[in-house]
Amino acid sequence: MLFHLAIKNLIGAGIRTWLNVFVTAVSFFMIIFTSGMYDGMRSHAKQVTIDTEVAGGAYWHPKYDPLDPFSYEDAHGIPPKEIHELIQSNDAFSVLVSQASIYPNGRMMPVMMKGIEPNQSIINLPTQSLLTHTDDLIPVLIGSGMAKYTQLKVGDTFAIRWLDANRTYDADEGVIVAIMETENFKVDMGTIWIPLDRAQTMLDMEKEATYITFSKKSATIQNKENWIYRDVNYLMRDMEAMIKADEPGAQIMYMILLALAGMGIFNSQILSIFRRRKEIGTLMALGMTRSRVVTLFTLEGGMNAFFALIMTLILGGPVFIYFALYGIPLPIDYSEMGLIVAKRLIPVYTMGLFVSTTLFIAFVVLVLSYLPSRRIAKMKPTDALRGKIN
Amino acid sequence: MRRIILLFLLSFVFGQNEISVKEIIQEMDNNLNAKSRVLTSKMVVHGRRTSRTIESKNWVVGTDQAFTEYLSPPREAGTKMLKVGNKLWTYSPQTDRVIQISGHMLRQSVMGSDMSYNDMMEDQPLMDRYATTLEGSVIIDGRDYWIIFMDAKVKGLSYPKRRAWIDKEYFLPTKEELYAKSGKLLKTATMDGIKKVQGRWFPSRYLFKDELKRTSKGTEWIIDEIEFDSDIPESRFSKVMLRK
């Protein structure tokens, strides 16, 4: 009975109700849209990183710290037996990392030189191109970002200088055998990829590696000696932190929208109580308890959230579906900022996102509807009938 | 009998050559290395568009201890570097911090020049580090030079191969080519303005050039004043001096 009455009253309020519902629906839409966008970003970054870099995880040399280039000098060794067996069974591959300098067009540029097994198929990099015959020149694979930065093209040669295990300078000519298109800036910017065996010979580090990347289907090995196991979540933590750092901006925006919607509802609740005091008195005089009258008014306010959800689905639904299918074209290339973001961002909407957003907005709206309705509990029916309010 | 005489003559000729190369290198080391030296110098770093001049004062004892204080330009003035053994510390007055330079950083360029910290630090006598071969003699611009090729006999040298053109009068390498392990030319160093200072020939100007940088015009190192075998107190090479 209360529910029917609440709907009747709400619809009866006309434009005032629909304005409140619209503003709440906009908040709904923005929260779902932005959360979906961040989830899409996260999911895309994770998928790209797993696909092109981390696969199932990695075993790091104990001295390896990817954020400290000075650690590369000592971070190399022969992998333990069990890890070596994984490599032999093509369930893992070695990467040997070192610092080097390249001289494209005669300019010096510090780079990270990574030796990788050309025949690996665990990560999606065109490493097979490193098998190209190059007349003794060092075959080099780079990303399109690096190619743009260095102005190098396929077939271009340039000098590479490095320090071997004995800290002796060595240098040779490299040739670009392929330029890969990748969204993962970490395998692109500042990195040159060369064949593993060549890197091991150049650096005087035969059979050594800096880290071993293993496939998703590989089981965790028991005897990894002092090599450090890194799972996908650990390897993704930088990306996760970057997305998290960007989220508060969006949260502030939808908090403002929600506050606007909340103020509208709060205001109309106060107005309702003031304008409908005779109705409140009549309901009380006819035997409706105070708590039921409070419930009726709270329900009326709360119904805004319900209508807002329906309005969001009707008006925003096609927009959600369109973006989920075709993505949102982004105006700038975020890879230059160190983010793995697709050129067209596909938002990810989950049932959990809809349920949690609905519950959150319903809770906020119910609280904001209940707070002004508490005044009804203090009213005397006689005063209310006479139009008096405390 | 004839065969024995021939063998004797051959061994004499080759033996003479080997000894003379050693002597040349020894003489050269004697000229370039001293018990101690105090010098004021300018480093002119030639960039693509402009050149920068950095003035410094250096105190050096043997091959293990060196202290450098930068005097100008104002941006670099007060920056100090201390080398003890194979360790190097720098002090920057802007940050008021002492930083130890190690590992790969030693291969980085010093103040944007064509010289690395290692180039500055690797000053042990060549005799101890390289096996030498006399490749021949050549006359350039009326001056007679020996061409000596040096191959590292110890591991861990920055340049495992070098070729030097040594002036027969001054016993100084007026031109030197520094090679990578693969044989690729990495740097060249030339010297001129040779003067007699305290009984030894010493250059007053060096030019270092990173040969892999096609655009590089090199870095000049001009020695304004130099004093050999002067007494330098041990306290000069303590870390405390970096902040003074």
Instruction: Name the region of A35 (left: φ>0; alpha: ψ -120 to 50; beta: rest).
Output: alpha
CB contact under 8 A, B186 and A171: yes
Q: Let me know: does A385 contact A278? Beta carbons within 8 Å.
A: yes
Does residue A43 contact residue A255 with C-beta atoms inside 8 Å?
A: no
**Model confidence pLDDT, tens digit, residues B16-74:** 444 578 889 888 888 888 888 899 999 999 887 888 899 999 998 877 788 999 998 99
Looking at the complex, report in whole angstroms how far the Cα of residue A245 sits from the nearest Cα belonging to chain B: 29
Residue B10 has pLDDT above 50, yes or no: no
> Per mean pLDDT, which range of A189-193, A220-224, B129-133, B203-207 is the poorest?
A220-224
**What is the DSSP track for B91-151?**
EETTTTEEEEE-GGGGGSBSTTSS-BHHHHH--S-HHHHEEEEEEEEEEETTEEEEEEEEE
Rounded to two decimals, the ipTM of the complex is 0.71
Q: What is the mean pLDDT of the segment spanning B218-234?
A: 91
Residue B12: predicted pLDDT: 42
Segment B218-241 shows an average pLDDT of 91
Q: What percent of chain B has pLDDT over 90?
A: 42
Distance, in Å, from the CA atom of A324 to the CA atom of A21, rounded to the nearest integer, reads 25
In chain A, the residue whose alpha carbon lies closest to the alpha carbon of B213 is A106
In this model, does residue B9 exceed pLDDT 70?
no
Label residue B14 by pLDDT band (50, 70, 90).
very low
Query: In B33-107, which residue ranges form alpha helices assigned H by DSSP?
Result: none
Measured between alpha carbons, how far is A31 from A25 in angstroms, rounded to an integer?
A: 10
- Is A168 in Cβ contact with B158 (below 8 Å)? yes
Greatest mean pLDDT among A159-173, B90-104, B108-122 lies in A159-173
Can you spell out the DSSP letters for A345-369? E-----HHHHHHHHHHHHHHHHHHH
- Min Cα separation A169/chain B (Å): 5
Tokens of B69: 């204080």
- The answer to whether the CB of A139 falls within 8 A of the CB of A130 is yes
Q: What pLDDT does B190 receive? A: 94
A273-A279-A282 Cα angle (round to 5): 135
Q: Which residues are registered as beta bridge partners of A103?
A: A159
To test the contact with chain A by mutation, choose from B214, B217, B219 the residue with the greatest count of A C-beta atoms within 10 A, namely B214
Q: What is the CATH number of domain B2-32+123-221?
A: 2.50.20.10
Residues of B with CB under 8 A from a CB of A: 102-105, 107, 152, 155-160, 180-182, 184, 186, 210, 212-216
Would the CB atoms of B104 and A170 count as touching at under 8 Å? no
Burial degree of A382 (CB within 10 A; 0-12, 13-18, 19+): exposed
Q: How confident is the model at residue B203 (pLDDT cuts 50, 70, 90)?
A: very high
Mean pLDDT, chain B, rounded, equals: 84
- All residue ranges of chain A with pLDDT < 50 are none
Domain segments of chain A as ranges = 2-50+238-385, 57-230
* DSSP at B154: S
CB A212 within 8 A of CB A83: yes
Three-state SS letters, A191-247: EEEEEHHHHHHHHCCCCCECEEEECCCCCCCCCCCCCEEECHHHHCHHHHHHHHHHH
